[in-house]
Structure 1
């Protein structure tokens, strides 16, 4: 007996093939696959279980799934699931259904006139420069990890990449003639990001230490090396957690360094259009979101510089 071509698992394989053909990143494909799988598990948990076929992709079933997701508890943290997580589930299923509608596998898209869960806006705190100086101070030293961690922190604060842009960097991403790092952003869009002199020095010192690392043998192309080879995004996060604890500054998320970069660019008179290019944003919506977190501080600084009251 052949496969059930209407089965969601079979349709998901076709969807993944389409994503690969359109050059979507592995991270995007894995996220969509995992989230559709969660929906299938939800269907199986119902009383009675709902058959995981295209016919189960209804507005009611998806709405109930999103509501159930919002009421769940994260098994790892014991805390309620975040609205951001439920929003991601919604978007993943929406992309899957959009593909099925395009292929005429479903006649009606269940997401038509359906609204995603609201995600409350929570500004990400920008770490003060004093905290980042403390973070760098605990990385002082000539050993491999000190050199590597200093280079990572300086590069992230200097050019503001996403964590999944900096972790996969290879050695040839660095250009010391132009002092730039080539990162691949969302949609596989490349950006050449310029870095400053202190970052250049930190990178050169790290590369000299890296040349002696056991994992550097056999022409390993990975820029950031750990004990078992290329560092992952998770490995960089763990490094930041460890260094932040040593510095006594509390938790530092990689995205806070991206916010630090964006805030300082604007605070020092950088143009918004240039920031959009450097940060890899195609919409001003993201610019507004990042700028809003520290807009009050910049406005206060601008007022102090203008000295409007002193002109009376």
Structure 2
């Protein structure tokens, strides 16, 4: 990496300034680029201009041999394609060898979600007689009502929530902001938490906090804290499912589509930049439509 330090700095400026990429994205791209630069060093290629199609194909073979998934290989290709794109723009190289490489066809995993009955059972827990109980209820209702990421949830501040308009301002990936609506149940739970729970959590010895969700010590709730809370709620509901924040996000999207929501609208609510990211949920609606059709259409099946 040291040999190509100038080239990396050019790419780093592009990521941070032009793309406004999140710190996590920069970290991942750096690892991918470093991995590739180590490969060409091992191959005794001392000039990025000497990397050709054969070199790239050999590199991809190594990635697969190391057990990387198609998704990870695609990420490597995308990172290095962008890397060379910037180098070509700055006239460091004359061509981009990664433009000749197609991304591997993805095997998208089917997202796991809670069924309606499971979600209702989870929401039936009523422990709102304590500040933590009120917080947990507001947290669960908001996550299910909005489908926001856990990283977005822990960043929510008091001023981001508008109870009158029933919207929350979310800071998503790439520092992109979006407004997400929520319903009456979430509104009531948040209101109860703000009126009779949050101030008690702050206490006398905590620093004033602007974050919406706080832990038992009055400090901002963390992503790990949210996972612990959800696990506890699942146990209290008597469910045997494994629940994590992203599963609630999957549940949010699946339930919307199952009830007729437009795919583009769900894309916007989730904050997906690409429609393909949202299309992983359409398998559920297809199954449901097939079930509805077989049960409703008079010519769907032959009578016995």
Same fold (TM > 0.5): yes
1:20 pairs with 5, 16, 34, which one? 16
Deviations 1:231-255 (A, max 9, x none): 4445434543454455442322433
Q: Does the alignment pair 1:209 with 2:209?
A: no
- Give the C-alpha shift of residue 60 in structure 1: 4.3
Distance 1:96 1:283 in 2: 21
For structure 1, which runs of at least 5 residues remain unmatched after alignment?
A: 73-79
Distance 1:151 1:196 in 2: 12
1:275 alignment counterpart: 266
2:230 alignment counterpart: 240
CA shift in 2, pair 1:265/1:103, >3 Å? same
Judge conservation of contact 2:22–2:174 (CA < 8 Å) in 1. Answer: yes
Deviations 1:23-47 (A, max 9, x none): 3333322332233234345556x4x
Distance 2:281 2:246 in 1: 11
Deviations 1:50-72 (A, max 9, x none): 66x63575544544444333333
Judge conservation of contact 1:139–1:147 (CA < 8 Å) in 2. Answer: no
Q: TM-score, structure 2 length as denominator?
A: 0.79
CA shift in 2, pair 1:214/1:67, >3 Å? farther
- Give the C-alpha shift of residue 179 in structure 1: 0.8
Judge conservation of contact 1:147–1:209 (CA < 8 Å) in 2. Answer: yes
- Give the C-alpha shift of residue 97 in structure 1: 2.0
2:134 alignment counterpart: 147
Across the aligned residues of Structure 1 and Structure 2, the Cα RMSD in angstroms comes to: 3.4
Aligned ranges 1:52-201 → 2 under 5 Å: 54-55=48-49, 58-72=52-66, 81-136=68-123, 140-201=127-188
- Give the C-alpha shift of residue 126 in structure 1: 2.5
- Give the C-alpha shift of residue 181 in structure 1: 0.8
Judge conservation of contact 1:262–1:291 (CA < 8 Å) in 2. Answer: no
For structure 2, which runs of at least 5 residues remain unmatched after alignment?
A: none
Judge conservation of contact 2:49–2:94 (CA < 8 Å) in 1. Answer: no
My pick for the range that moved more, 157-166 or 55-64, is 55-64
- Give the C-alpha shift of residue 281 in structure 1: 3.8
Deviations 1:252-298 (A, max 9, x none): 24333222222222222323343333233454433433212442123
Judge conservation of contact 1:245–1:251 (CA < 8 Å) in 2. Answer: no
Distance 1:269 1:178 in 2: 23
Q: Does the alignment pair 1:258 with 2:288?
A: no
Q: TM-score, structure 1 length as denominator?
A: 0.78
Distance 2:242 2:267 in 1: 27
CA shift in 2, pair 1:121/1:272, >3 Å? closer
Secondary structure of 1:12's match? helix
Distance 2:254 2:140 in 1: 17
Q: How many residues align?
A: 296
Secondary structure of 2:155's match? coil
Q: Does the alignment pair 1:230 with 2:220?
A: yes
2:26 pairs with 29, 37, 42, which one? 29
Judge conservation of contact 2:45–2:51 (CA < 8 Å) in 1. Answer: no
